Amino acid sequence: MKTTNGKYRAKKKQMIASALGVECYFCHRTENQRIHNKWGMRHLELADMNLSNLKNALASDDFIILCARCHGCVHWCMKYLKMSWVDIIE
Ligand SMILES: [Zn+2]
């Protein structure tokens, strides 16, 4: 069953932009953003959420906008240096 259509995706995108902004947290680029879960959980879950779950998730302060490059760096630090989100931003 396909539940996402263009309009639905646009609505989610708009909700994400209004909750998290559109710039990378680190370098302020606005292209190729990834939504990063600060605690290293799977990102896929956000894309699969319905609108009310998405709204709760965005309100939880667990997500942040990163560009593809910074996102890669954050995961590299988490995986190889065993750093937490708090370690990285400090
Ligand atoms: Zn960046």
Quick one: tokens of 55? 């709204």
Tell me, what's the pLDDT at 43? 61
89 alpha carbon to ligand 1 midpoint, in Å?
13
Give the residue carrying structure tokens 């995706």. 9
Tell me, what's the pLDDT at 18? 94
Tell me, what's the pLDDT at 79? 92
Distance CA(2)–CA(15), nearest Å, equals 21
When mean pLDDT is compared across 1-5, 25-29, 52-56, 73-77, the lowest value belongs to 1-5
Query: What does pTM read for this prediction?
Result: 0.81
28 alpha carbon to ligand 1 midpoint, in Å?
6
54 alpha carbon to ligand 1 midpoint, in Å?
23
Distance CA(33)–CA(74), nearest Å, equals 13
- Condensed to tens digits (0 to 9), the pLDDT of residues 55-89 reads 998 998 899 999 999 999 999 999 999 999 999 99
